[in-house]
Chain A
């Protein structure tokens, strides 16, 4: 039963390839080509694995692993050609990516091996149909757009998975690098170090607010000594953090304000007179303790 098969037109950077879509002839041709690829599965797969090693790709994997994955990829590839549908291939690609990304496999390697497979199969078609040029033409007309779409699907699947992993890692790093410290009862210190982007600023604020509630903090010291520069949007985040903390009943002391950052705050309309600022962290903690009613006794007296 001939099914109408259609493949999107894919720009390969060279002359544009067009398909004769929805024609029974294409379906027949594709069927013949898939048969050929299935019959010669073993030797084509071996040829491909050899070329992968030659091109020094997938160096993070052993020969056995490469062969095992090569088998799956090959079968999925031919299946995609046969059915003209790519969902299964997409799912397989993401699955494969999930497995090989932790192994350190990179994007250029994945794109590389899929293109190598495309070439190996193309060469095999050339040698089979070299006597009948018209036939070869029709075969390639059916094969090329499909092969390109497959390469695209696999590469995109890999990249998407990689981006997802990177986002996860960034999130984890952000969480680790914004510690909210409880140093005394009812007193929290939030030292901010490095570059803050709006997303990190938002996460900072959320963590601090949760910390205020959990620790029942009455005073928070936000130390920005370690912050290199602050643009208007991040400065606004700081102001919002101060205001949100107040809504939870906490007093905020900002320490380590550089002249540049002070200027940024003034520029966005912040009344520094209303904001509780102290020169350095030590001074900020002392003021916090005064606010909390602690009496700081010098060492000698305590003895």
Chain B
């Protein structure tokens, strides 16, 4: 299942639609790293609102995406983790490491806006 990746100024927004398999996640990771380079994006927002379960593979992959994106000089913001999913993640001992998180897309954009003082 392809994850739609939109461009808004210098920001890429990837909105996860529904349950992602491991292969979907790896495909997303590849696509994001590629597109960040092509679009010369300064940041990406990964919207996890529709993820009903975040397990160890998912959280590790997201962290890896952020690391790879950082190597290209861009920042990653994770948004939309649901309360129940967040609760399950911390029970399982997962975290987003140092990756920035925000409540939703709106908050994520506001955060980047303040950070880069970019007019979108």
Question: Contact residues of A with B, CB < 8 Å?
Answer: 205-206, 209-210, 212-213, 216, 218, 240-241, 243-250
Contact = CB atoms under 8 A, between A and B. Distances in A.
Nearest to B88: A244
A247 B86 contact: yes
B79 interface: yes
A205 B87 CA distance: 8
Contacts of B107: 216, 218, 249
Contacts of A240: 87, 90-91
A247 B79 contact: no
Contact of A213 (B83, B91, B95): B83
Contacts of B83: 206, 209-210, 212-213, 244, 248
B67 interface: no
Nearest to B89: A247
A244 B93 CA distance: 10
B15 to A, nearest CB: 17
Contact of A244 (B89, B102, B103): B89
B101 interface: yes
A299 B83 CA distance: 39
B32 interface: no
B90 A247 contact: yes
Contacts of A218: 103, 107
Contacts of B90: 240-241, 243-244, 247
A246 B95 CA distance: 9
Nearest to A213: B83
A248 B82 CA distance: 7
Given A248-B86, A249-B79, 11 more contacts: A205-B87, A209-B84, A213-B82, A213-B103, A216-B103, A241-B90, A244-B90, A245-B86, A247-B86, A247-B95, A248-B103
